[in-house]
Structure formats: structure tokens, C-alpha cells
């Protein structure tokens, strides 16, 4: 295959509330030493440049990973990544939000490596109360190994929006009214890992990892979180909906305007390669309810 690189802000009802909420919201412009813990990899994960750069490496012995020190319950999370270059077949770079336990919630970006010159696959998924199976996959319109690009998750009580360099690629709306679980009660940490998945990652496992190319390295920088931190059983945003005209809290009620919707449609028309909402063979008894209700994009 040839390369295919081809707010509605709420008005504050009281200035005091606005000031307090703005103070409490975590606007964390990232220092990896302060914001993250390296959790596995035996030295293969490194924080460099005084906390401004983090690298994960994978070799035949092990991959590596890190997680956020904080848990979040709603927020806008940005991270710049530069993916494994060259022959990355068999490798997966995962960057996601997740809670713990059998009924966990999860919001996923996964980058599936490929042979040199073939495009990465960006895999997205949403879990609610332990149930996933909501995959959408995309090619990217650029080479994600040549430079850093920003991958964002906006998560509020109404919707989850996945974006790449500010362009929305997917929206998953809250469809609890028709019985679809939505992540809204479980605080989640940010996780990332680089690992070997050559049993499935590239062409269904047909292409294996070429260990002569190891170590494989992915790089991270410019983490930013405008988010509600969860600590000791309470949110830094309290039980009240944040109400502020400042940009730091717009995400709490943000939705896609008409321009953003058109940009997302462009991505989905030209670069989406899999959508669970159109996979009738996978769901012979009928598509998931959020698909037929057109509440997910």
C-alpha cells in the first residue's frame, strides 16, 4: 500500500464562582517530572530536558510505559507525540485515559505500526462500564514519525471528542438516554505505553516485529491538561458545573460548531478505514443503539 499521508461557553452567573472555578481547574502545562510517573520498562522510559521531553523504548525484552500522577474526571488533555519511525510493524504506541477494575471506563488512542512507507493506523475506542467494542480507525494525512503532532481528548459530561492537531476526527456523544454507558462517574488517569503486539497489530498479525530495528522509540512533549482533578473522593471542580467565560473552562460545555463538524466529516470521508457503526457482519443482531440513533460520529 502506498503512503496515505496525504463553544458554546456558559456565561458566568457570578464573578466569584468564575474566579474560584478558574483557580480550581487544573491548567497543567506539562513537566513530565511533576505530572507523570514512569511505571514499567526497567530504564527504557526516560524523562529528559528538565522534564520537557519523555521517551519510551521497546526492545525484544520489554517495552515501557508511564502514567499521570493525577486522576481526572472530565477535562481537555493534549499531548504531542512523535511516533516510532521506519519499520514499526508489530509495535503499538498507546495513549489513553482509563479507570481501573472490571467495569472500568477508557478513552483510547492507539497507534498501530507498519512497514516502512506504509501508513500508521490510528485506532480509537471508548469503554463505558467495562464495555468497549466501539472502534474507529483512521489513516493520518501526514507522516506522524517526521515531527511532533498534537493528539487531544476532550471529555465532558455530554461528549468525547478526539482531535489531531486541532482537527476533530471522532465524536462520541452521551447516549445514556437510550441505555448506552457513558464515562462520567469514574476518575481516570492518563496512561501511555510502547509495546510489542505483533500477534495482531499489523495486518492482523501477518507482519511480525523486526527486532533488528530495535530499540524502537516514541517521544512525547508539551503535555497540557485543562481538567478537573480527582483527589480524596472529590473533584477540584466541586459538584457544580464550571461556569466561566475563560478559555480554560470552555471545554466543559464545548460542542462541535458547524466548521468543526465539516472538518470531522472531511477526515471521516477521506481517512477513516474502519467504523464499528457500519460493521453489520460484526453485529448480525443489529448495530449498537448509539449507531442507529446517530449519536456517535
User: Are the C-beta atoms of residues 210 and 87 closer than 8 Å to each other?
Assistant: yes
Give the contacts of 122 (CB within 8 A, at least 6 positions apart).
109, 110, 111, 112, 137, 138, 139, 140, 164, 169
Catalytic-residue membership of 52:
no
Number of H helices, E strands in the chain: 4, 17
Residue 228 near residue 73, CB atoms below 8 Å: yes
Q: In the Cβ-directed half-sphere of 35, how many Cα atoms lie within 13 Å?
A: 27
Give the Å distances, CA to CA, from 163 to 82, 150, 166, 264: 16, 8, 6, 9
106 is annotated as an active-site residue:
yes
The active-site residue, picked from 52, 71, 110, 262, is 110
User: What's the rounded Cα separation, in Å, for the pair 158 and 251?
Assistant: 11
Strand segments, DSSP code E, in the chain are: 26-29, 36-40, 46-48, 53-58, 64-68, 71-82, 91-98, 106-112, 121-127, 136-138, 149-155, 159-164, 167-173, 189-196, 216-231, 234-235, 272-275
Give the residue carrying C-alpha cell 469503554: 127
Q: Which of 106, 255, 262, 290 is catalytic?
A: 106
Strand partners, 37: 67
Distances (CA, A) of 36 to 49, 201, 247, 274: 15, 27, 25, 32
Cell numbers found for residue 138: 483512521
Residues with active-site annotation: 106, 110
Amino acid at each position: 500500500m502506498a503512503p496515505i499521508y496525504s463553544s458554546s461557553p456558559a456565561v458566568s452567573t457570578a464573578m466569584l464562582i468564575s474566579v474560584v472555578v478558574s483557580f480550581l481547574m487544573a491548567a497543567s502545562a506539562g513537566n513530565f517530572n511533576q505530572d507523570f510517573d514512569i511505571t514499567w520498562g526497567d530504564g527504557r522510559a526516560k524523562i529528559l530536558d528538565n522534564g520537557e521531553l519523555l521517551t519510551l523504548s521497546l526492545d525484544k525484552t520489554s517495552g515501557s510505559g508511564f502514567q499521570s500522577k493525577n486522576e481526572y474526571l472530565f477535562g481537555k488533555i493534549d499531548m504531542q507525540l512523535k511516533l516510532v519511525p521506519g519499520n514499526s510493524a508489530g509495535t503499538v504506541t498507546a495513549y489513553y485515559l482509563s479507570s481501573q477494575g472490571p467495569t472500568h471506563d477508557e478513552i483510547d488512542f492507539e497507534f498501530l505500526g507498519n512497514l516502512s512507507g506504509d501508513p500508521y493506523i490510528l485506532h480509537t475506542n471508548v469503554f463505558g462500564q467495562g464495555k468497549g467494542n466501539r472502534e474507529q480507525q483512521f489513516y493520518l494525512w501526514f507522516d506522524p514519525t517526521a515531527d511532533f503532532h498534537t493528539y487531544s481528548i476532550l471529555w465532558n459530561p455530554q461528549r468525547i471528542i478526539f482531535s489531531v492537531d486541532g482537527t476533530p476526527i471522532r465524536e462520541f456523544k452521551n447516549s445514556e438516554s437510550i441505555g448506552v454507558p457513558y464515562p462520567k462517574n469514574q476518575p481516570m488517569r492518563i496512561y501511555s505505553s510502547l509495546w510489542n503486539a505483533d500477534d495482531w497489530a499489523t495486518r492482523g498479525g501477518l507482519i511480525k516485529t523486526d527486532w533488528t530495528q530495535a530499540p524502537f522509540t516514541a517521544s512525547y512533549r508539551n503535555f497540557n491538561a485543562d481538567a478537573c482533578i480527582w483527589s480524596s473522593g472529590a473533584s477540584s471542580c466541586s459538584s457544580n458545573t464550571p461556569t466561566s467565560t475563560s478559555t480554560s473552562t470552555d471545554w466543559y460545555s464545548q460542542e462541535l460548531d458547524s466548521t468543526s463538524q465539516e472538518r470531522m466529516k472531511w477526515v471521516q470521508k477521506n481517512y477513516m478505514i474502519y467504523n464499528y457503526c457500519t460493521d453489520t457482519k460484526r453485529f448480525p443482531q443489529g448495530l449498537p443503539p448509539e449507531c442507529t440513533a446517530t449519536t456517535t460520529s
